[in-house]
Amino acid sequence: TKSENSRTKVALPQGINQATFRTAIAELRDRLGEEHVEFVTKLDDGWYMENPNTHDGMHISEESDFVASVVVYPSSTKEVQTVVQWANSYRIPISPISIGRNYGYGGAAPRVRGAVVLDLGRRMNRILDINPDDCTCLVEPGVTYFALYEEIQARGFQHLWVDVPDIGGGSVLGNALDRGVGYTPYGDHWMMHCGMEIVLPTGEVIRTGMGALPGNNSWQLFPYGFGPTADGLFSQSNMGVVTKMGFGLMPNPGDHESYVRFSRVLALHNGSRIIQLYAFQREEDLSQLPDQIDIIRPLRIAMILENVAQLRHISMQVGLEGKPRSFYYNGKGRIPDSFIHEAAQKLAHGDCTWLYYGMAYGPKEIRQYKLDIIHKEFMKIPGARRIDPSTLPADNYFWVRDRIASGVPDIEELRWVNWHPNGGHVAFSPVSPVRGNDATALWDIAQKRCEEYNLDLFPTFVVGLREMHLIVEIVFNRDDPVMRDNARACLRGMVDDAAKRGYGEYRTHLAFMDQIAGTYNWNDGALLKFNEKIKDCLDPNGIMAPGKSGIWPARYRGRGWEM
C-alpha cells in the first residue's frame, strides 16, 4: 500500500530496528493521539511562510542528510514529559523545535538523522500573559513575533513594543534560546528574557528564577531568583525542552499614535565620490571601513546609537532587489564588484560601499540631541552622505528597516535568497571587538575564501554593544551539489581562518557545530568537557538533541558522529 511504501522510506534513528521503532511509535500514538504523531515520508522544502518541520529547507548538503523520522505535536508541558519519558524507554533521540524556521542554521532539522522532531509550535502557541503595567509577557514556544505583535495591538496595548528580528515569522522563545537579535534597544533577546519552564531530559519539570517560588508574583520581573542561575544551560543547548519563557517588553518611546512619525532613521553612506569609489573601490573600501567602525564603537557603547547598529555592504542592497544574479552577471566565479556597483547606481540612494542603518528613539528634543552628535561624527568620514528619508519611495527597503527598528514584524529581508534559483543560505557569523582592524581582518578572511570557492557574499557588520558580529550570508543553489560543496568548504575555511586569529562564531548551522565547538578549546577543551559532564548527568540515555552545539552524550561520543 501507499503508506507501507512510504513507511519504508522513513529515516530510522541509528541502532533501532524497524519493528521496535514501529512498536514505539504505536505506543506514542496511543498516548498522544494518532493525528499528533506523523511519519516523515516526503520532503518538501516549502518557503519561508510554509517552512518544513521535517528537515532543513535550506539544506547545504543532501536534503535527506539532516532529516527526522517522525514529527510529534505535544499540546502541553505534561505531553512533552510523556514524549521525553517515552524517548528514554526506547532510547530514541528527540529534537525540540518551536516554529522551526531557524533559516541558515539548519531549520527544523535534527542534528542526528532519524531523530523524532518535537514540534512545539503547532499546539503550544498560547500567549499566557501580557502585563501592560510591568511591560512583560509569558509565552509558549509556538508564539511568533507576528502573533505577539497582533495580540498586543488587539488588546489595545499600543504602549508596548515587541523587539523583532529581521524576519518576524519565527518563535519569540525559539529565537531567544538560539540567541537571535532584533533592532530596538531590546535587541539582545536572551538578555531580555526573564523566567523559564523546562522539561528536563529525564522528564522532570523545573521553573527558573522566581518561578521556583510557589505563589510568587515576580517570575517575569527578576530573572535570577536565588542560588546559581540555571537559565544559560538551556540556551543553544540540548539540556532540556523549554515550554514557557517570559520577556520584558519595551515601552513605546514616543506618543503611541504617532510613533512611526516619531522614528527618524538616519541612513548614511560614503558614496558621494561615486566615480572614484567605483574606480578604486577596493582601496577605498579598505581605507574607510576601519574609520566607520571606530566611529561607531564609542557612540554605541555610550548608547548614543540606541539600537543594534548595522553597516550593510552594498551587495546586500542589490540582493534585496530580489532579482537573480543572472540579471546582473552571467560569468563564472565571484561576481566582480564593478557589476554590484553598477547595479547599485540604479538604487534610490545611489551607489556606495557601506550603508548604515540606525534609529533614534523618544521625543524630538531627546532624538535631536543624539542625531546631531551622530551626524557630526559620521560626517568625519570622507565622502559620507546623509540620505533624507523623504527622498526614498515607499517600497524602498529602508522602510522595512524603519518598521523592524520600531518593533513591527516583517518578512522582506530574505529577498536576497533569490540570488540563485532554488536559493538556500548559510551564514558565517564571527564575533569581534568593534574595531577597524578587526573589521578589516574579518573582511579579508571572507573575501579570500569566497574568491577561492567562487561564491558571492552578502556581508553586514552588526554592532551589539561592545562587540560586533560580521554576518556573511552565502547564497547557494540547493540543487547544485558543486555549489553546495563549495559553500560548505568555504564556511569551514572561514571558521578555521577566523579561529587562528582569535575570532569565534556566535551561532552556526548544524553541519558546523562540532567544528565551532572545537574552536572554543581553551585549556584542553575544558568548556566542552564541562558541557559533556552536565549532559551525561542530565541526560543519561542521551535522548535530547544529541550533537546540538557540538555536545554529544556519552552513548554517541567518539563514535563517528562528529563532523
CB of 505 to ligand ADP, least distance (A): 15
* 284/518 Cα distance (integer angstroms): 36
CB of 253 to ligand ADP, least distance (A): 26
Site for ligand ADP, rule CB under 6 A: 96-102, 108, 120, 141, 170-171, 173-175, 177-178, 241-242, 548
- Residue 474: count of CB within 10 angstroms of its CB: 28
Cα 217 from chain centroid (whole Å): 32
- Residue 90: count of CB within 10 angstroms of its CB: 19
What is 362-393 written as a DSSP string? SSHHHHHHHHHHHHHHHTTSTT-EEE-GGGS-
CB of 60 to ligand ADP, least distance (A): 15
What is 303-368 written as a DSSP string? TSS-S-EEEEEHHHHHHTT---GGGT---SSSPPHHHHHHHHTTSTT---SEEEEEEE-SSHHHHH
* 357/309 Cα distance (integer angstroms): 7
**In degrees rounded to 5, what are phi and psi of residue 425?**
-145, 155
**Sequence-distant (≥ 6) Cβ neighbours of residue 32 within 8 angstroms:** 72, 73, 74, 79, 82, 83
Of 139 and 249, nearer to ligand ADP (C-beta) is 139
Q: Which amino acid is at 259?
A: Y
- Residue 455: count of CB within 10 angstroms of its CB: 22
* 167/183 Cα distance (integer angstroms): 11
Contact status, residue 431 vs residue 504, Cβ threshold 8 Å: yes
CB of 170 to ligand ADP, least distance (A): 3
**In degrees rounded to 5, what are phi and psi of residue 349?**
-95, 0
Would you name the residues annotated as active-site residues?
Answer: 105, 506-507
Cα 356 from chain centroid (whole Å): 21
CB of 216 to ligand ADP, least distance (A): 22
Q: Is 495 helix (H, G, I), strand (E, B) or coil?
A: helix
Of 233 and 371, nearer to ligand ADP (C-beta) is 233
* 495/488 Cα distance (integer angstroms): 11
CB of 292 to ligand ADP, least distance (A): 30
Of 125 and 396, nearer to ligand ADP (C-beta) is 125
* 288/450 Cα distance (integer angstroms): 21
Which runs of E-coded beta strand occur in 52-173? 70-72, 94-97, 116-119, 127-131, 136-139, 160-161
CB of 178 to ligand ADP, least distance (A): 4
Of 36 and 269, nearer to ligand ADP (C-beta) is 36
Of 189 and 341, nearer to ligand ADP (C-beta) is 189
Q: Name residue, grid cell 522532570.
A: 204
Of 385 and 509, nearer to ligand ADP (C-beta) is 509
Of 67 and 173, nearer to ligand ADP (C-beta) is 173
CB of 46 to ligand ADP, least distance (A): 13
Q: Is 100 helix (H, G, I), strand (E, B) or coil?
A: coil
- Name the residue among 181, 458, 446, 416 with its Cα closest to residue 311: 458
DSSP code of 557?
Answer: T
Contact status, residue 182 vs residue 192, Cβ threshold 8 Å: no
Of 108 and 499, nearer to ligand ADP (C-beta) is 108
